[in-house]
Amino acid sequence: MRWIIGSCNDIAGGINQLFARKRFINLLTNADVSDWSFLKVNGQILDNFLCCVSNDYIDGTFITAHMQNNNFSFLFSLHEINKGKFIVANTCVLEKHWDKGLLYSLMRYNRNIELFFSQQELSLASNHLFYQSTTIDDVGKFGFPTSFSERKMFKNREKGLYNSIRESFNRVSLLFSLNDV
């Protein structure tokens, strides 16, 4: 399993938070976890992302980053990511149906891929308007800021990583429901 985070300070934190996140992944997967390093693509270093790998034989990618980052969408075009079984996007869905459009694009590369987004919470913007977002809080227990979905995934870890993801994150569908309109 690939684990990718934005290298910005509010996500990566510092060395202590990176160590805590690596320990969190180890406890989730019950597998050895590589050290964090900058993401490399075709020999080029993308220093706005950090990556580690859990040796659990699961072909998926878990991404925690701000979707506003110019390279966030670029990640989904990478063969190593879009040919996997699933992708978890631990980020906000700020544009309506963006997640559905992303799944549609991914399915051009891999018809069987599944896409999950973190559960969105109602937040208040600086302009006093409400919007859906992934609120990241430091719950103290883990040593780094976590989303509601990450905390729920950890709680369900006994069910196995894939099942805990399915129960904790929203699976994206190309179908529209009444809630989508």
pLDDT 10s digit of each residue in the chain, 181 long? 999 999 988 888 899 999 999 999 999 999 999 999 999 988 889 899 999 999 999 999 999 987 765 567 788 889 989 999 999 999 876 666 778 888 998 999 999 999 998 887 666 666 766 655 566 655 568 998 888 899 999 999 999 999 999 999 999 988 655 455 4
- Report the largest interatomic distance among the alpha carbons of the chain, rounded to a whole angstrom: 45
pTM for the structure as a whole: 0.87
**What pLDDT is stored for residue 67 in this prediction?**
72
**What pLDDT is stored for residue 88 in this prediction?**
96
For 154, the token pair is: 């950890």
Short-list 37, 23, 9, CA closest to 136? 9
The one-letter amino acid code at 43 reads G
Short-list 115, 121, 155, 157, CA closest to 137? 121
Phi, psi of 43 (to 5 degrees): 80, -10
For 150, the token pair is: 């990450």
Distance in angstroms (rounded) separating the CA atoms of residues 34 and 36: 7
Short-list 144, 140, 98, CA closest to 120? 98
**What pLDDT is stored for residue 96 in this prediction?**
67
First to last CA, the chain: 34
